[in-house]
Structure 1
Amino acid sequence: MNKKVYVLAIAAFVVGTVELILGGILDLIATDLHLSLAKAGYLISIFSLVYALSAPILLNVTARFERKKVYMYTLLVFLISNLISACSVNFYMLMAGRMLGAAAGSLIFVLSLTLASRIVEPEYKGRAVGTITMGGSASLILGVPLGIFVGNAFGWREVFILIAVLTVCVMVAIGVAMNRVQPAPAVSLQNQLKALWNPKMLAIHMTTLLVLAGHLTLYAYFTPFLQAAIGASPTAITLIYMMFGLAAVAGGGMGGMLSDRLHPAKAIVMVLIPFMLSMAVIPFSTGLPLIPFLLLLSIWGALSWTVTPVQNSLIIKTSPETSEILISTNSGIAHAGIALGTYIGGLVIDHSSIMNTGWVGSILVCIGLGSAVLAVNMKEKHVHAMA
Structure 2
Amino acid sequence: MRLRLLLLALGTFAVGTDTMVMAGILGRVADDLGVSVLAAGQVVTVFALAYALLAPVLAAATARWPRRRLLLTALAVFTAANAVSALAPDYPTLLATRVLAAAGAALYSPNASAAATTLVPPERRGRAIATVLGGMTVATALGVPLGTYVGRADWRLTMWLVTALGAVALLGLAAFLRELPAPAQAVGLRERLAPLRDGRVLAAAATTFAFFMAFQSVYIYLGTAVHPATGGDADRLSTILLATGVASVAGSWLGGHVVDRWGVRKVLLTGSVVSAVFFAALPWLGRTMTGALVYALAVPLAGWSISVAQPHRLASLRPADAPLLLSLNSSALYLGMAAGGGTGSLAMALLGERWFPLGASALALVALGMAAGTTRPAAPAPASGGRAARQESSLPEAASRR
Contact 2:115-2:180 within 8 A present in 1 as well: no
Cα separation, partners in 2 of 1:342 and 1:188, compared to 1, 3 Å:
closer
| Distance in 1 of aligned mates of 2:72 and 2:191 | 29
Counterpart of 1:332, as a letter, is S
State the shift of 1:323 in Å: 2.6
2:349 matches 1:350: yes
TM-score normalised over the length of structure 1: 0.87
The equivalent of 2:385 in structure 1 is none
Unaligned residue ranges in structure 1 (runs of 5+): none
Report how many aligned residue pairs link the two structures: 381
The equivalent of 2:389 in structure 1 is none
Contact 2:11-2:165 within 8 A present in 1 as well: no
| Distance in 1 of aligned mates of 2:152 and 2:192 | 46
Larger Rg belongs to: 2
The equivalent of 2:146 in structure 1 is 146
- Return 299-308 or 74-83, whichever deviates more: 299-308
| Distance in 1 of aligned mates of 2:369 and 2:88 | 42
Identical pairs, percent:
27
| Distance in 2 of aligned mates of 1:185 and 1:81 | 31
| Distance in 2 of aligned mates of 1:207 and 1:129 | 25
Contact 1:42-1:342 within 8 A present in 2 as well: yes
The equivalent of 1:12 in structure 2 is 12
State the shift of 1:180 in Å: 1.4
- Return 156-165 or 94-103, whichever deviates more: 156-165
- Return 193-202 or 268-277, whichever deviates more: 268-277
The equivalent of 2:252 in structure 1 is 252
2:210 matches 1:203: no
**Helix, strand or coil: the match of 1:356?**
coil
State the shift of 1:77 in Å: 0.6
Counterpart of 1:27, as a letter, is G
The equivalent of 2:35 in structure 1 is 35
Cα separation, partners in 2 of 1:371 and 1:174, compared to 1, 3 Å:
farther
Counterpart of 2:313, as a letter, is L
| Distance in 2 of aligned mates of 1:271 and 1:34 | 38
**Helix, strand or coil: the match of 1:93?**
helix
| Distance in 1 of aligned mates of 2:335 and 2:365 | 18
| Distance in 2 of aligned mates of 1:263 and 1:129 | 23
The equivalent of 1:61 in structure 2 is 61
The equivalent of 2:100 in structure 1 is 100
- Return 128-137 or 247-256, whichever deviates more: 128-137
State the shift of 1:166 in Å: 0.7
| Distance in 2 of aligned mates of 1:38 and 1:244 | 22
Contact 1:6-1:132 within 8 A present in 2 as well: yes
Higher RCO (C-alpha 8 Å, min separation 6): 1
Cα separation, partners in 2 of 1:136 and 1:59, compared to 1, 3 Å:
same
| Distance in 2 of aligned mates of 1:188 and 1:322 | 14
State the shift of 1:281 in Å: 2.1
- Return 200-209 or 176-185, whichever deviates more: 176-185
- Return 364-373 or 186-195, whichever deviates more: 186-195
State the shift of 1:347 in Å: 1.5
2:239 matches 1:243: no
| Distance in 1 of aligned mates of 2:202 and 2:232 | 41
| Distance in 2 of aligned mates of 1:366 and 1:184 | 42
State the shift of 1:371 in Å: 1.7
**Helix, strand or coil: the match of 1:12?**
helix
Unaligned residue ranges in structure 2 (runs of 5+): 377-392
**Helix, strand or coil: the match of 2:356?**
helix
Cα separation, partners in 2 of 1:224 and 1:9, compared to 1, 3 Å:
same
TM-score normalised over the length of structure 2: 0.84
| Distance in 1 of aligned mates of 2:70 and 2:97 | 20
Counterpart of 1:92, as a letter, is P
Contact 2:278-2:299 within 8 A present in 1 as well: yes
Contact 1:66-1:182 within 8 A present in 2 as well: yes
**Helix, strand or coil: the match of 1:370?**
helix
Cα separation, partners in 2 of 1:266 and 1:148, compared to 1, 3 Å:
same
